[in-house]
Amino acid sequence: MLPVKKKLYIRTFGCQMNVADSQQMAQLLAHEYELTSRAEDADLYLINTCAIRRKAEEKVKSLLGSLKLLKARNPRLILGVGGCVAQQEGERLLAAAPHLNLVFGTQGSHRLPELVRLAARGRRLVDVELKRGIRELPPRQWPQGAVSALVTIMQGCDNFCTYCVVPYVRGREASREPGAVIAEIADFLAAGGVEVTLLGQNVNSYGRGLAQPITFTGLLRRLAGLPRLKRLRFATSHPRDLSDELVAAYGELPALCEHLHLPVQSGSNRVLKAMNRGYSREDYLEKVSRLRRSCPDIAISTDLIVGFPGETEADFTQTLDLMREAAFDQAFSFKYSRRPQTRAAGFPDQVPEEVKTERLIRLQALQDELTLATHSRQVGRVTEVLVEGWSKRGPSQLCGRLRTNQVVNFTGPRELLGCLTPITITAAQPHSLQGSWAPAPPVTVGGCPKHPPRRQHV
Ligand code: 5AD
Ligand code: SF4
């Protein structure tokens, strides 16, 4: 009989990169722990944290407080905090939470099994060492039936945007060897996967510093040639480093999805300069029009910050104008949040909270209009959806994503889960699309000798 494994619960905050890191943590601990979705069953409870805005950090601290009760019910529970807040706070977290066993930083995953073993023997530990370079973790074990994969290709960031805590908590930029990335993705495709999202804080600078340098587009070209790969995505791009070569690739590589997340942050040159972004609004808009020429169907999403120190009403109006001109499909927008160690935290003219709130509301109202307009243009089209799961909208409603990253809900059979299938877009809503699915003769793709083939409806 196989030994019974202990239970691991992971609560992940923040971005896709944290989701990928949590998957790696689960795999590193898999010889002793299996994942549970019930926190109350956990023998090991890990919180993978995000420090990008103060609110995210506060959520972690309040969750940590509420876990005193769980620990009181199960004193053998090992409680660990990892990721960016752990990196930033280190010893202070352990001192503030006597029920916490373990604090590990953004580069501490590979030591996790050892740290957990020590914690199980009663030690309280902090491991927040940041080193240059990148450490290859053991090859990923892809779960049976996984369709989409998040693959980290680099870590850290050297850009030091003046508002951003990432370079301090994730360290300096370092890229994985292309051979390791390609092998990981080839394994995933051999196990039946179809969609890959490459992750890094600034993927456009991928390859710098490698013994045999390669550009990010060079990596995309090598990946796009892998036979079973249907959808290739990546995040996040820095507008300054978006090369002509990458713009051209959108017109050339069939697997590359017609979507780009290109954070602009502000439409005011004065603010962009104070943010240390390294481009102007004119540079940004020029890149947007080149992208649209190279790939007319491309959907562009962005990140925006309102209320950066010194932002005036005129600066903010320029952001609204840029949004209209760029015709963003989607925007993630945030009130500026003062972060420790960052230069902007010490800037004069911090914008009052109520002004930030009022600007955020206006900006989001505009984005809702822009999103609805791009969604409306999809109505009547027949396009491809990757079916990801059940929709929250009701029974027998499935949901999935178009190549342009828009979410579509539709009625269809459960056999479609994990499949690519054509769909007719019937209605546009501000945050999603409605579709209509009709059966088409299935063809078989994917699968390997070890795994049964997947039915694909395209
Ligand atoms: N305040 C508000 N938003 C921030 N972001 C990063 N740092 C801050 C901050 N201090 C936003 C940026 C970035 C996204 C991931 O988070 O828009 O692109
Ligand atoms: Fe932060 Fe700027 Fe690096 Fe993005 S590019 S992670 S915003 S410092």
Residue showing tokens 């202990």: 6
Q: What is the pLDDT of residue 277?
A: 98
Classified by CATH at the fold level, domain 148-376 comes out as pyruvate-formate lyase- activating enzyme (3.80.30)
CA of 334 to the centre of ligand 1 (A): 7
Half-sphere exposure of residue 224: CA atoms within 13 angstroms, side-chain side: 19
- The span from the CA of 400 to the CA of 417, in Å, is 9
pLDDT band at 145 (very low <50, low <70, confident <90, very high): confident
For 46-93, the pLDDT digits (tens) are 999 999 999 888 888 899 999 999 999 999 999 999 999 999 999 999
CA distance readout (Å), 278 to 239, 246, 272, 281, 401: 9, 18, 7, 10, 33
Q: Which CATH superfamily is domain 382-450 in?
A: Nucleic acid-binding proteins (2.40.50.140)
pLDDT at 318 over 80: yes
Ligand nearest to the CA of 303: 1
- The span from the CA of 80 to the CA of 124, in Å, is 10
Domain spans in the chain, listed from the N-terminal domain onward: 6-127, 148-376, 382-450
pTM of the predicted protein model = 0.93
Provide the 8-state DSSP code for 49. Answer: E
pLDDT band at 392 (very low <50, low <70, confident <90, very high): confident
Query: What mean pLDDT comes out for the span 427-452?
Result: 68
Percentage of the residues of the chain whose pLDDT score is greater than 90: 84
For 354-365, the pLDDT digits (tens) are 999 999 999 999
For 269-313, the pLDDT digits (tens) are 999 999 999 999 999 999 999 999 999 999 999 999 999 999 999
Ligand nearest to the CA of 339: 1
Q: Which residues line ligand 2 (CB under 6 A)?
A: 157, 159-161, 164, 166-167, 201-202, 238
Q: What contacts 138, CB < 8 A, 6 or more positions away?
A: 27, 28
Which of 17, 84, 166 maximizes ligand 2 atoms within 8 Å of its Cβ, making it the mutation to test the pocket? 166
Query: What mean pLDDT comes out for the span 377-395?
Result: 91
- The span from the CA of 299 to the CA of 261, in Å, is 8
Classified by CATH at the fold level, domain 6-127 comes out as Rossmann fold (3.40.50)
CA of 367 to the centre of ligand 1 (A): 18
Check for a shared fold between 148-376 and 382-450: no
pLDDT at 449 over 60: no
